Amino acid sequence: MRVWARATDAAQAQPVGIWRFDEGVGTAAGDSSDHGHDATVTGGATWVAGHNDWDIGSLGFNGTDTEASATSVLNTDQSFSVTAWANLSSTAKSATVVGQDGPRTSAFQLGFDKDCGCWAFGMPAADADGATRVIAAAPAAAATGTWTHLAGVYDAVNDSATLYVNGDPVTTVAVPATQWKSTGPLTIGRGRTNGAAANWFAGGIDDVRVYQGIETDTAISEDYLS
C-alpha cells in the first residue's frame, strides 16, 4: 500500500543546493542551483560513472575518509527535503549519504542504518552525545551494488519525518515539535557523531539535492523517474 506523506508547505520548497557530480576531475563539485554552495571533495573520492546511462558522472567513496562538503546550506529547524542517488557497496556499518553537521552530531542523516539493515532518515532530538534519535526506517533490507533513490522530508508544521525509497514514501514517523538548527557544513558521504566525523559511506553517490521546504510526493517521484 502506498503511504502518502503530507505536503503542507510544498509551495515554499526551494532548491538551495544541487550537486550533480558531473565534473569528472578535480576537488570541486559545482552547485547547479545557482546559490553558490559549491562542495569541496576530500580524501581522494573518485569520479565514476553516473547512476544511469544518460548521467555523466558521480562520486565514489571509500567508507573511510572520503567526503564532499559545502557550507551550511539548510535551516534544519525549518521544513526541508533532501534527495540523492546511492549505490551502497557494504553493509558492515551504518553509512551516511547526506547530513549536516552540528558541533556534536548531525542534525539529520539520510543513509544506511546497520541496526535495521535498511535505508533510513534519522533526526536526533538535540546536538548532544547519545541524544535520542527519531528514525524513519525502510521496511525492507537495503540492496548493495545497485543504485537506489533516497529522499528524506522533515515537516516542521506537522512534526513528522518521511523516508522515500525509489520515489515511494515508505515510512513516516513523528518527531519532537522543536528541532535544533545546525550551523556546520552539509556533508555528503559521512555524518557526525560524538563530536567527530563518522558513518563514512562506501560506494557511489550521485545527484544530491536539498530543498528548504517540503517536496511533494509527486515531485520526489518525478525526480526518481528523471
Q: What is the pLDDT of residues 77-114, one digit of tens each?
A: 999 999 999 999 999 999 999 999 999 999 999 999 99
Residue 12 confidence class, pLDDT cut points 50, 70, 90: low
Query: Which of 165, 3, 180 shows the shortest CA–CA distance to 88?
Result: 165
68-122+139-202: CATH number: 2.60.120.200
The answer to whether 183 and 76 have CB atoms below 8 angstroms apart is no
> Other C-beta atoms within 10 Å of 112: how many?
28
Q: What is the pLDDT of residues 37-60, one digit of tens each?
A: 999 999 989 999 899 878 889 999
**Where is average pLDDT lowest: 8-22, 52-66, 137-151?**
8-22
**pLDDT for position 4:** 34
Could you give the CA distance from residue 10 to residue 80 in angstroms, rounded to a whole number? 10
The answer to whether 224 and 215 have CB atoms below 8 angstroms apart is no
Strands (E), the chain: 14-19, 28-29, 39-42, 46-48, 58-62, 67-70, 80-88, 95-101, 106-113, 118-124, 133-137, 147-155, 160-165, 168-174, 186-188, 191-193, 196-198, 202-212
**pLDDT for position 3:** 36
Tell me the sheet residues that pair with 88: 203
